[in-house]
Amino acid sequence: MKNKITVFLLLFSFILPNFVFAAGISVSPSSLQFNEARQIRQITVTNPTTDVQIYEISPDDFSELFIVSPESFTLEAGGKKQVNITLTDAIKPANKIITTNLSVMGRPLLERRFTVNSGVKIPINLQLGTGGQTNRLDYKWLIIGILGAASILLSRKLYKKSVLIKSDPL
């Protein structure tokens, strides 16, 4: 029994990061990455409720950089919809890293009772003109430096040991 719970938790932990879920909205993937202009990314919006829902999608900032198609739509209970997010060429690549969020808002079509609208924010990362790499430390050179220093220290230690062995008469 304990093994079954462990397996379930492991499987659940691998699936969970790929979805964003709020009451009335399920969206995947959980983040978007753009590296150059005119790229298109897709998100899938799912209605996990038993009601018909109206969904509206928009970027929080830099709205002139994105085309969302469709921006608004209706989903039946359990329905899914693919939404295209296109990065326009309104921004010029110049080693820029821009972050914003894509807001997905949902509300019931029929508001016969007190309801609370729900929403999800999906992080968007734009890394333009950087070849998809951030301005962080390049770990390749850090590793080469550490290995180089270790080899120098090791060779010094071995040299001292060989000198001691040659000069020590038996």
- Report pLDDT digits (tens) over 95-128: 678 888 999 988 888 766 555 677 888 898 888 7
Q: For the chain, what is the domain count? A: 2
Q: Is pLDDT of 4 > 60?
A: no
pLDDT at 134 over 60: no
Range of the domain at 96: 2-128
Are residues 45 and 25 in contact, defined by beta-carbon separation less than 8 angstroms? yes
Note whether 108 and 162 are same-domain residues: no
Q: Which two tokens stand for residue 67?
A: 């085309």
pLDDT of residue 84: 94
Cis preceding linkage at 70, omega within 30: yes
Judge if 155 and 124 occupy the same domain.
Answer: no
**10 and 71 co-located in one domain:** yes
- Global confidence as pTM: 0.59
104 and 61 within one domain: yes
Band of the pLDDT at 135, cuts 50, 70, 90?
very low
pLDDT recorded at residue 113: 59
Please give the pLDDT value at position 72.
Answer: 92
- Mean pLDDT lowest among 31-35, 54-58, 154-158: 154-158
**Model confidence pLDDT, tens digit, residues 7-49:** 444 444 444 444 444 457 888 898 888 887 788 999 999 998 8
Q: What is the pLDDT of residue 20?
A: 43
94/121 same-domain check: yes
Whether 16 and 94 map to the same domain: the answer is yes
- Least reliable range by pLDDT among 1-5, 71-75, 123-127: 1-5
Q: Are 123 and 163 found together in one domain?
A: no
Count of alpha carbons within 13 Å of 61, Cβ hemisphere only?
Answer: 8
List all residues 6 or more positions away from 36 whose beta carbon is below 8 Å from its beta carbon: 87, 93, 128
